[in-house]
Chains A and B, each alone.
Chain A
Amino acid sequence: MTMQPATLIPPLLALALAPLLLGVINRTKAVFAGRRGQPLLQTYFDIWKLLHRGAVYSRTTTWVFRAGPVVGLACALVATALVPLGGVAAPLWFPGDLFLLVYLLAVMRFFTVLAALDTGSSFEGMGASREVWFSALAEPALLLALVAVARPTGSVSLSQILAGLTADQWVHAGIGFALVVGALIIVLLAENARIPVDDPNTHLELTMIHEVMVLDHSGPDFAFILYGAALKLWVLGAVLVGVMLPVHTGSAWLDMLVALAGMLGLAVIVGIVESSMARLRLLRVPQLLVSASALAVLALILAMR
């Protein structure tokens, strides 16, 4: 397996465009609320501004708190190298690469949680406690959904699985695919702290999950966290778009354009979900996540008939 230069396109696009997704989500929400909304590039501005600031650290914290954002961003960066886009394979693709992807996201979470616990804040402890519980339920759903997608193709690598999907399969096994997409959307929303699992815009620390864990971070550390979160949204979004839009037009440029349009469309969908529904009560979230696994299992039953 030699690395081809073209495989660098998906990670480069991720690095460049990931913060844009957050802008699109926010713009969609603004349109729904009848506001003009912040600029589409606001996340870029935020990251740029934060990179130029100093920082404040709690006296309680240790090096673990400082390591959290660094490790988190490093994980997200490697993850971008594992996910294909628009028919172009990822630079790091090998049999079983999806497990490395899932576990890199776990490393990111592990250190974010530890950094939160390092502050000794009850709010951050609360967020950390919710994060570990919900992600433990989201992980089986994600993996089962990926098995359901992989089964028709018989491959064990993310790049090959997504390359092996065709629009034909949507026609023949549409229900199964719809179930998988449903499961993946729930996982995407939960893992990226979006409504209905978590509300990134809430103003009450008590009700947050992800945002509350990073309350004490500031300056470049917080820029790393913002960028890492944007990359994570992009990575999981790219998997979802790969399943939703398995188009092979024959032209590589067209395929990539379709995929990029899909990514932006996904951001619009997330914005619509956020505009049209309230956040679930925290006690209900586990039920939603278990239902994602149930959807994936149903899809598998259909695939194994």
Chain B
Amino acid sequence: MFPVLFGLGIWMLSGLAALFARRSPRTATACGVGGAVAGSIVALVPVLGVLAGGHVEPLRWPWAVPCGEFHIALDALSAWFLLPILILSAAAAVYGGEYLWPYRERKSLGPPWFFYNVLVASMALVVLVRNGVLFLVAWEVMALSSFFLVTFEDEKESVREAGWTYLVATHLGTAFLLAMFVLMGREAGSLDFDAFGAAAFAPALANLLFVLAVVGFGTKAGFMPLHVWLPEAHPAAPSHVSAIMSGVMIKTGIYGLIRTLMILGTPPLWWGWLLIGIGLTSGIVGVLFALAQRDLKRTLAYSSVENIGIIALGLGLGTLGASMHSGALTALGFGGALLHVLNHALFKGLLFLGAGAVAHGTGSRDMDRLGGLLKRMPLAGAAFLVGAAAISGLPPFNGFVSEFLIYFGAFKGAVSLPASGAVPMLAVIAGLALIGGLAAACFTRAFGMVFLGEPRSDEARHAHEPGLAMRLPMWILAGGCVLVGMGAPLVWGVVTRAFGVAEEYRALAAEPLSWIVIGSALFLALVGALVVLRRELLSGRVVGQSATWGCGYARPTARIQYTATSFSQPITSQFESLLGTCASVTPPDGYFPRHSAVASETLDACAEKIYRPAFTLLDRALSRLRWLQHGTVQLYVLYIALTLLALLVWKLG
């Protein structure tokens, strides 16, 4: 356990050092980046040890807070979630060093590095702690430090608003968690997770606890319709922060949900149904909203909602398996979900870093104004392509492996279970297929519109490749995508061994995964052979250059091209009532039209239709209490004294 504590210490101290060195951007960056990387490497040692089957003694230190105890432990689940946290945080820190550098004239770099390292430490702590009070403290530190990172560019109004939305959403979620821990603690007699695990919860209470966990943790994870903060906060944050928020921070919500499921024991059937329903909604609606966005980072943020949906499908499958006592379904469902947690961290981290490189190189994130960047930033572009293929679930990359496990489990269930059990399996298969197809549409669009074709604006024409510190982390993550894809049986072995999956269920997926690797290797070999064949065929022949075919029109301009908006228009128009895209059109008018314009925007339907009216109503109701608020500190102290007095009377009386 001491390497982990040591890592935590490095993060905190280097963060503080960065804060104190805020006068010198160079020192602050060095402290921030160096600390984040060093802490991650130190903490990686015990994590790998546990995943290899080792054991780490839990740590218990007394803590003066009521019901609190500094109790941390590193079991397989914690280690599995720590793995992407460590990898991605280190990679994103290196990237952030270069990404934040241009801001040094306008802003102090000390605070962002302080909050970055605190965020990393708090995320690690969240998956380590085994005490309710300590968990909530770590959870809150994680929320606040990420809030300060989101609002890094607080001179922009949109950023301030995004930060505000995030702050409100995360605290509403925490309120549900507080209620959950209080109820658990009342039943178990302690706020220690071990006590929770030993307690037997009555079915009605377990149901209530499960719903509280789904809402509380789901807000952080981004389950639809609790996702509204995600498409606001992730684009607003600096790109390396978006990468760790989208890649690993929202996964702490998934961690919490899995931990709660472990505590609550055998689940009833409807929990699985609920999770599958959430997964389908988040997955399908999430990817549709991703397709409707023009801002590259907003597209990626909605795609995170989609991927959380895929994880929820896996969890739902596993939960159904647990309630039906089907070891195969449990192993494949939870296994697929856990693997997707790692995979999504790798490719979404990579894609956010890529989006940052685009913003860095062009100053724009509007896909309708980009294009042709692959020629201007070939290395970053190629890495982005790997991420785009991986997130679309294509072999030989990692996304296919986790989706395959979920598909495979659902298919096994669909052909063998009686009708009542087979129906959710069919929903998973059909839903996952639709999500996969739409995700491919979304990422051919993202890559094609940003990196291919002709530049659609001057910013794109003058784009430049990022430096090595920004490219290297992207390539490491891209390598991870390939590695997990081609080493799927090994990774599956690690997952199943770490979670003690029985040998027969391990073998169930191990065999197909090895065949998939063989198929992928065959595919790669054929690609290589065809490349050579093509080169041989073309050598010595006439290879000409010309303009793109335009029905004989020889002077095409970049404006002729399809745009991101037009590419997805057939899909978005089909779902118009759901997406609520508002467009304003100024059509060409008269015989010699001068000006015409089309503008469209897709705001979040849940935020606009549910939360905005609700909060307006709340605001109106609470404004009646305005008279209480004077701004005079003495009066507030009086309120506190009166409240304490009232409580004392209530307690004594």
- Taking beta carbons and an 8 Å cutoff, which residues of A are in contact with B? 1, 51, 53-62, 64, 66, 70-71, 73-75, 77-78, 81-82, 92, 94-97, 99-100, 102-104, 106-107, 109-110, 113-114, 117-126, 128-130, 132-133, 135-140, 142-144, 147, 150-151, 153-156, 205, 215-216, 219-221, 224, 282, 286, 293, 297, 300, 304-305
Scoring A59, A122, A224 by chain B CB atoms within 10 A of each residue's CB, the highest score goes to: A122
In the complex, 15 of the A-B residue pairs with CB atoms within 8 angstroms, ordered by the A residue number, are A55-B543, A62-B374, A92-B519, A99-B407, A103-B404, A104-B519, A104-B523, A113-B444, A114-B447, A117-B449, A122-B561, A125-B566, A136-B440, A139-B436, A297-B426
Q: Decide if B61 is an interface residue (CB 8 Å cutoff).
A: no
- Taking beta carbons and an 8 Å cutoff, which residues of B are in contact with A? 371-372, 374-375, 378, 385, 389, 392-395, 400, 404, 407-408, 411-412, 414-416, 418-419, 422, 426, 429-431, 433-434, 436-438, 440-441, 444-445, 447-449, 452-454, 508, 511-512, 515-516, 518-519, 522-523, 526-527, 530-531, 533-534, 537-538, 541-551, 556, 558, 560-562, 566-571, 574
Distance between A156 CB and nearest chain B CB, rounded to angstroms:
6
Residues from chain A with Cβ under 8 Å of B537 in the complex: 51, 219-220
**Main DSSP-derived SS at the A contact region:** helix
Distance between B539 CB and nearest chain A CB, rounded to angstroms:
10
Flag if A150 contacts B415 (CB, 8 Å).
yes
Residues from chain B with Cβ under 8 Å of A126 in the complex: 562
- For the complex, what is the distance from the CA of A71 to the CA of B402, rounded to whole Å? 23
B570 in complex: contacting residue of A66, A129, A135, CB < 8 Å: A129
Residues from chain A with Cβ under 8 Å of B560 in the complex: 120-122
Flag if A129 contacts B561 (CB, 8 Å).
no
Residues from chain B with Cβ under 8 Å of A114 in the complex: 385, 444, 447-448, 452
Residues from chain B with Cβ under 8 Å of A138 in the complex: 437
Flag if B519 contacts A220 (CB, 8 Å).
no
- Knowing A78-B523, A110-B392, A114-B447, the reply to whether A132 touches B441 (Cβ < 8 A) is yes
- Knowing A62-B375, A92-B515, A95-B512, the reply to whether A144 touches B426 (Cβ < 8 A) is yes
- Knowing A74-B523, A95-B408, A139-B434, the reply to whether A54 touches B543 (Cβ < 8 A) is yes
Flag if B438 contacts A136 (CB, 8 Å).
yes
Flag if B444 contacts A60 (CB, 8 Å).
no
Flag if B541 contacts A58 (CB, 8 Å).
no
For B419, the closest partner residue in chain A by CB is A304
Flag if A144 contacts B429 (CB, 8 Å).
yes
For A135, the closest partner residue in chain B by CB is B437
Scoring B434, B448, B561 by chain A CB atoms within 10 A of each residue's CB, the highest score goes to: B448
- For the complex, what is the distance from the CA of A293 to the CA of B375, rounded to whole Å? 41
- For the complex, what is the distance from the CA of A102 to the CA of B395, rounded to whole Å? 10
- Knowing A59-B546, A64-B385, A154-B416, the reply to whether A95 touches B519 (Cβ < 8 A) is no
How many inter-chain contacts with C-beta < 8 Å in the A-B complex?
A: 256
Flag if A117 contacts B394 (CB, 8 Å).
no
Distance between A197 CB and nearest chain B CB, rounded to angstroms:
14
Flag if B415 contacts A140 (CB, 8 Å).
no
Distance between B446 CB and nearest chain A CB, rounded to angstroms:
11
Flag if A54 contacts B561 (CB, 8 Å).
no
- Knowing A56-B544, A96-B411, the reply to whether A132 touches B437 (Cβ < 8 A) is yes
- For the complex, what is the distance from the CA of A155 to the CA of B416, rounded to whole Å? 9
- For the complex, what is the distance from the CA of A143 to the CA of B445, rounded to whole Å? 24
For B511, the closest partner residue in chain A by CB is A94
Residues from chain A with Cβ under 8 Å of B394 in the complex: 103, 106-107, 110
Residues from chain A with Cβ under 8 Å of B512 in the complex: 94-97
- Knowing A107-B394, A120-B561, A147-B415, the reply to whether A132 touches B452 (Cβ < 8 A) is no
For B400, the closest partner residue in chain A by CB is A103
Flag if B515 contacts A97 (CB, 8 Å).
yes
- For the complex, what is the distance from the CA of A286 to the CA of B571, rounded to whole Å? 10
- Knowing A107-B395, A120-B454, the reply to whether A100 touches B519 (Cβ < 8 A) is yes
Flag if B440 contacts A106 (CB, 8 Å).
yes
Distance between A67 CB and nearest chain B CB, rounded to angstroms:
8
- Knowing A103-B394, A129-B566, the reply to whether A110 touches B422 (Cβ < 8 A) is no
- For the complex, what is the distance from the CA of A103 to the CA of B561, rounded to whole Å? 29
Residues from chain B with Cβ under 8 Å of A106 in the complex: 392-394, 436-437, 440
Flag if B415 contacts A151 (CB, 8 Å).
yes
B430 in complex: contacting residue of A74, A100, A143, CB < 8 Å: A143
Flag if B415 contacts A129 (CB, 8 Å).
no
Flag if A92 contacts B518 (CB, 8 Å).
yes
Besides A78-B522, A113-B448, A219-B537, 13 other A-B contacts (C-beta < 8 A):
A59-B545, A62-B378, A96-B512, A97-B512, A99-B411, A104-B519, A114-B385, A125-B561, A129-B562, A136-B437, A137-B437, A140-B434, A304-B419
- For the complex, what is the distance from the CA of A135 to the CA of B392, rounded to whole Å? 13
- For the complex, what is the distance from the CA of A273 to the CA of B282, rounded to whole Å? 39
For B570, the closest partner residue in chain A by CB is A133
Residues from chain B with Cβ under 8 Å of A1 in the complex: 511
B562 in complex: contacting residue of A66, A82, A122, A144, CB < 8 Å: A122
- For the complex, what is the distance from the CA of A92 to the CA of B512, rounded to whole Å? 10
Scoring A57, A73, A133, A305 by chain B CB atoms within 10 A of each residue's CB, the highest score goes to: A133
3 A-B pairs with least C-beta separation: A125-B562, A136-B437, A117-B448
Flag if B404 contacts A74 (CB, 8 Å).
no
B531 in complex: contacting residue of A70, A104, A140, A305, CB < 8 Å: A70
Distance between A127 CB and nearest chain B CB, rounded to angstroms:
10
Scoring B372, B430, B431, B568 by chain A CB atoms within 10 A of each residue's CB, the highest score goes to: B430
Flag if A221 contacts B444 (CB, 8 Å).
no
- For the complex, what is the distance from the CA of A74 to the CA of B547, rounded to whole Å? 28
Flag if A156 contacts B545 (CB, 8 Å).
no
Residues from chain B with Cβ under 8 Å of A147 in the complex: 411, 414-415, 426, 429
- For the complex, what is the distance from the CA of A74 to the CA of B532, rounded to whole Å? 13
B558 in complex: contacting residue of A57, A120, A139, CB < 8 Å: A120
- Knowing A74-B527, A129-B569, the reply to whether A110 touches B452 (Cβ < 8 A) is no
Scoring A57, A95, A154, A224 by chain B CB atoms within 10 A of each residue's CB, the highest score goes to: A95
For A283, the closest partner residue in chain B by CB is B570
Distance between A213 CB and nearest chain B CB, rounded to angstroms:
11
Distance between A4 CB and nearest chain B CB, rounded to angstroms:
15
- Knowing A125-B566, A150-B411, A150-B415, the reply to whether A100 touches B516 (Cβ < 8 A) is yes
Residues from chain B with Cβ under 8 Å of A305 in the complex: 419
Residues from chain B with Cβ under 8 Å of A109 in the complex: 440
- Knowing A107-B394, A220-B537, the reply to whether A120 touches B530 (Cβ < 8 A) is no
- For the complex, what is the distance from the CA of A77 to the CA of B444, rounded to whole Å? 23
- For the complex, what is the distance from the CA of A123 to the CA of B415, rounded to whole Å? 43
- For the complex, what is the distance from the CA of A77 to the CA of B378, rounded to whole Å? 29
- Knowing A92-B515, A100-B519, the reply to whether A78 touches B526 (Cβ < 8 A) is yes
- For the complex, what is the distance from the CA of A90 to the CA of B550, rounded to whole Å? 43
